[in-house]
């Protein structure tokens, strides 16, 4: 039977690298623990010397006691700092490992999770585990060793009184288990409610304009208050359990102490025990009070934090389905030919998204994908950088199956300009040079400026007070949609990929911004293989080929004029948009 639940035992691999630090800390702990029964022994001697009025012996004893407290303090300092260091380093490694693990997960999994839940797990849950681990090493282990050492001394001093002292221990142990199970249950509920609250806040703060636009502040205030009250109730139930536990355990401890005094008085009266030894015994019991109290608190913390451990390791138990092959090789510099062969794909097996897709794209060709929403356009381009894998068929670049190459060598040769532009914290220059680990402003600024010129971004960036060193606020809120998109295009230009994916890159822009962005895209598309997912059909009239997708299948193919002449779905979509723009 293991002392700790499985979720805590899974922390062991993260502690192993710091075993030398832990062993050094345990050495300090043993030194500290040895001084505890020695203090009780000194009390016995002090009582004897007081009874005899031996002032010289008392003075010598005082000097010894001062020296012991100094040594004890040094051992305690070593124990506390070394244990804290090992625990904090292990938890930091765990946080890094969980973050890295999440980065390898399928997009489908990450898209299905609430951002607030993942953020809470990486921050609050792991922080709680770290604090619990620190207390386990800093308090729990030293307290257990102290109790063992002091009880050993008490048994040596008077085994009968020691038996009386620990007679209520089985009942206290059972109560610890009973209260602990309830603490785990209520703590799990509480942390679930906090995670819900975190998810709600993430959702609200990212949709402030929509909330204001619909005058929904009162509705969101009501939702927040409701979640807050649920969390308050769950936390209160946890505190209720603790409030019941402490007096019950305290009562049993008080009964144990009273029994010790009663039995001790009886033994003194019949001559089986002298006053000095009884004083030493009582001192030993006093030395047990703090360790027992701390162990009680630590056991409560362990049970409460177990739900955090379960959440963290549940994340680590999720494994991606899109995996890099063990014998994957780097993808050579590509020319840009693409081949989709007999592709079937679905997110859920009972709902096909792409069926029997066959497509060959020549190097330097511009191919546009159009069709109604849900027809499979974005899903198709997501197979190229292996964000997903098809259930049937293969995707080749320059005749090489993308499943046989390393992820980074594949994705660094494919530039993506999405519909929703993502900018990161940092400067404009850092955003354009995103993912360049060796980025240096002074060395790379000329290249960055050239990329911005191609993207029609240099002019507006140069007019900013800090130019390319201008900080980017959260989600790029200090720039217009067109400006954000041109910065994203400059990022793709700097990557200099041979294959480019434009996923409805102008659909959310106004007419003036669209003209600037489209001109930047035209500059970016030169001498590259391009797949355009288009919503505004006016932007793809010059594409070499246009593919019309409907219900996951390619139903039409040709250039703009030939598809209009066919009078099929493309012509219907185009005429419908033309009518809206001229109305």
Instruction: Give 558-578 as a 3 state SS string.
Output: ECHHHHHHHCCHHHHHHHHHH
Q: What is the average per-residue pLDDT within 242-262?
A: 72
The 10s digit of each residue's pLDDT in 34-85 is 887 777 667 666 666 666 666 777 777 778 878 878 888 888 888 888 888 8
123 falls within a domain: yes
pLDDT of residue 133: 81
For the CA atoms of 341, 345, 351, 352, the dihedral, rounded to the nearest 10 degrees, stands at -10
Whether residue 181 sits in one domain with residue 62 = yes
Q: Which residue would you say has higher pLDDT here, 541 or 299? A: 541
Domain that holds residue 469: 423-496
Q: Rounded to whole angstroms, what are the CA distances from 153 to 71, 144, 274?
A: 20, 14, 16
Whether residue 229 sits in one domain with residue 96 = yes
55 falls within a domain: yes
Closest residue by Cα to residue 302 from 192, 180, 189, 190:
180
CB 353 within 8 A of CB 346: yes
Q: Which residue would you say has higher pLDDT here, 169 or 527? A: 527
Pairwise CA distance, residues 313 & 317, whole Å: 6
Whether residue 442 sits in one domain with residue 296 = no
Whether residue 205 sits in one domain with residue 70 = yes
Q: Of all residues in the chain, what percent are helix, strand and coil, respectively (each to 5)?
A: 65, 10, 20
Residue that is last in its domain, among 316, 336, 368: 316
Sequence-distant (6+) residues with CB within 8 A of 494 are: 432, 433, 436, 447, 448, 451
Sequence-distant (6+) residues with CB within 8 A of 272 are: none
414 falls within a domain: no
- Which of 55-59, 141-145, 146-150 is predicted least confidently? 55-59
132 falls within a domain: yes
CATH at residue 478: 3.40.50.300
412 falls within a domain: no
The 10s digit of each residue's pLDDT in 328-375 is 999 999 999 999 999 999 988 778 899 999 999 999 999 999 988 888
Average pLDDT, the chain: 81
pLDDT of residue 238: 74
The 10s digit of each residue's pLDDT in 407-433 is 989 998 998 888 777 788 889 998 888
User: Quick one: CA dihedral 126, 128, 133, 134, positive or negative?
Assistant: positive
Q: What is the average per-residue pLDDT within 234-258?
A: 73
- Which of 348-357, 449-458, 520-529 is predicted least confidently? 520-529
CB 235 within 8 A of CB 242: no
The 10s digit of each residue's pLDDT in 294-333 is 787 777 777 777 888 888 898 899 888 888 889 999 999 9
pLDDT of residue 483: 86
Please report, for the chain, how many H helices and E strands are present, in that order: 22, 12
What DSSP state is assigned to residue 468?
A: G
* 417, β-bridge pairs: 502
- pLDDT at 465 > cutoff 80: yes
pLDDT of residue 354: 93
Find the DSSP H helices in 136-274.
141-157, 159-165, 169-205, 208-213, 217-269
CATH at residue 109: 1.20.1560.10
Enter the tokens of residue 116.
């607030």
Residue that is last in its domain, among 268, 297, 316: 316
Residue that is last in its domain, among 442, 466, 496: 496
Q: Which residue would you say has higher pLDDT here, 451 or 276? A: 451
Sequence-distant (6+) residues with CB within 8 A of 64 are: 42
Q: pLDDT band at 1, cuts 50/70/90?
A: very low
- Which of 100-109, 138-147, 193-202 is predicted least confidently? 193-202
567 falls within a domain: no
Enter the tokens of residue 61.
């004893």
Residues in the chain: 583
The 10s digit of each residue's pLDDT in 78-95 is 888 888 888 888 888 999
Give the pairing of strands 471-472 and 553-558: unpaired
Q: What is the average per-residue pLDDT within 256-275?
A: 72
pLDDT of residue 468: 92
Pairwise CA distance, residues 454 & 494, whole Å: 10
Give the pairing of strands 499-503 and 529-533: parallel
Whether residue 221 sits in one domain with residue 103 = yes
Q: pLDDT band at 259, cuts 50/70/90?
A: confident
The 10s digit of each residue's pLDDT in 5-24 is 677 788 888 989 999 998 99
Q: What is the average per-residue pLDDT within 105-132?
A: 83
Whether residue 292 sits in one domain with residue 155 = yes
CB 306 within 8 A of CB 136: no
Whether residue 111 sits in one domain with residue 251 = yes
254 falls within a domain: yes
Pairwise CA distance, residues 419 & 514, whole Å: 12
pLDDT of residue 340: 95
User: Quick one: CA dihedral 504, 509, 510, 511, positive or negative?
Assistant: negative
CB 482 within 8 A of CB 516: yes
Q: What is the average per-residue pLDDT within 237-264?
A: 72
312 falls within a domain: yes
Full strand arrangement of the beta sheet holding 414-417: 414-417, 499-503, 529-533, 366-370, 545-550, 553-558
Q: Rounded to whole angstroms, what are the CA distances from 430 to 416, 423, 441, 451, 468?
A: 17, 10, 8, 13, 9
The 10s digit of each residue's pLDDT in 550-578 is 989 999 999 988 999 888 898 888 888 76
- pLDDT at 212 > cutoff 70: no
Whether residue 444 sits in one domain with residue 302 = no
If you search the block for the tokens 């894998």, which residue do you land on? 389
pLDDT of residue 361: 94
- By CB atoms closer than 10 A (0-12, 13-18, 19+), residue 304 is buried
The count of domains in the chain is 2
């Amino acid at each position: 039977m293991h002392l700790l639940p499985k979720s805590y035992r899974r922390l062991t691999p993260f502690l192993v690298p710091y075993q030398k630090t832990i062993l050094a800390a345990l050495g300090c702990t043993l030194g500290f623990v040895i001084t505890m029964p020695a203090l009780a022994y000194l009390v016995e001697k002090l009582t004897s010397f007081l009874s005899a009025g031996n002032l010289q012996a008392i003075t010598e004893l005082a000097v010894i006691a001062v020296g012991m407290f100094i040594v004890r303090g040094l051992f305690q300092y070593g124990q506390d700092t070394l244990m804290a260091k090992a625990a904090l380093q292990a938890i930091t490694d765990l946080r890094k490992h969980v973050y890295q693990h999440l980065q390898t997960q399928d997009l489908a999994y990450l898209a299905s999770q609430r951002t607030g839940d993942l953020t809470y797990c990486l921050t609050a849950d792991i922080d709680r585990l770290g604090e619990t681990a620190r207390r386990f090493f800093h308090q729990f282990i030293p307290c257990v060793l102290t109790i063992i050492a002091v009880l050993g001394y008490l048994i040596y001093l008077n085994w009968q009184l020691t038996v009386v002292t620990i007679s209520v221990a089985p009942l206290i142990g059972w109560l610890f288990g009973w209260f602990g199970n309830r603490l785990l249950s209520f703590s799990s509920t509480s942390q679930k409610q906090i995670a819900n609250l975190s998810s709600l806040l993430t959702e609200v703060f990212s949709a402030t304009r929509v909330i204001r636009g619909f005058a929904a502040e009162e509705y969101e205030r009501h939702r927040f208050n409701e979640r807050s009250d649920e969390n308050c109730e769950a936390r209160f139930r946890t505190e209720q359990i603790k409030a019941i536990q402490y007096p019950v355990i305290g009562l049993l401890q008080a009964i144990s102490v009273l029994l010790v005094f009663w039995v001790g008085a009886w033994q003194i009266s019949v001559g089986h025990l002298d006053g000095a030894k009884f004083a030493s015994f009582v001192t030993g019991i006093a030395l047990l009070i703090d360790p027992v109290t701390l162990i009680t608190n630590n056991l409560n913390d362990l049970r409460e934090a177990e739900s955090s451990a379960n959440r963290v390791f549940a994340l680590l138990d999720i494994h991606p389905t899109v995996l890099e092959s063990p014998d994957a090789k780097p993808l050579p510099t590509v020319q840009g030919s693409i081949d989709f062969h007999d592709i079937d794909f679905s997110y859920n097996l009972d709902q096909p998204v792409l069926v029997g897709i066959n497509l060959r794209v020549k190097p330097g060709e511009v191919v546009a994908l159009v069709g109604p929403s849900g027809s499979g356009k974005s899903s198709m381009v997501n197979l190229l950088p292996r964000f997903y894998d098809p259930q049937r068929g293969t995707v080749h670049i320059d005749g090489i199956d993308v499943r046989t190459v390393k992820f980074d060598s594949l994705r660094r040769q494919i530039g993506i300009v999405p519909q929703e532009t993502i900018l990161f914290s940092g400067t404009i220059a850092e955003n354009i040079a995103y993912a360049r680990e060796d980025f240096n402003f002074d060395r790379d600024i000329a290249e960055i400026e050239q990329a911005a010129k191609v993207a029609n971004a240099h002019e507006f960036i140069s007019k900013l007070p800090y130019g390319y060193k201008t900080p980017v606020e959260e989600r790029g809120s200090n720039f217009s949609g067109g400006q954000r998109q041109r910065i994203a295009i400059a990022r793709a230009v700097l990557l200099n990929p041979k294959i480019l994916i434009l996923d409805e890159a102008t659909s959310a822009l106004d007419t003036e911004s669209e003209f600037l962005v489209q001109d930047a895209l035209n500059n970016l598309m030169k001498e590259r293989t391009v797949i355009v997912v288009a919503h505004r059909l006016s932007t793809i009239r010059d594409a070499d080929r246009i593919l019309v997708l409907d219900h996951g299948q390619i139903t039409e193919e040709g250039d703009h004029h030939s598809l209009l002449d066919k009078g099929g779905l493309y012509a219907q979509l185009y005429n419908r948009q033309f009518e809206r723009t001229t109305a």
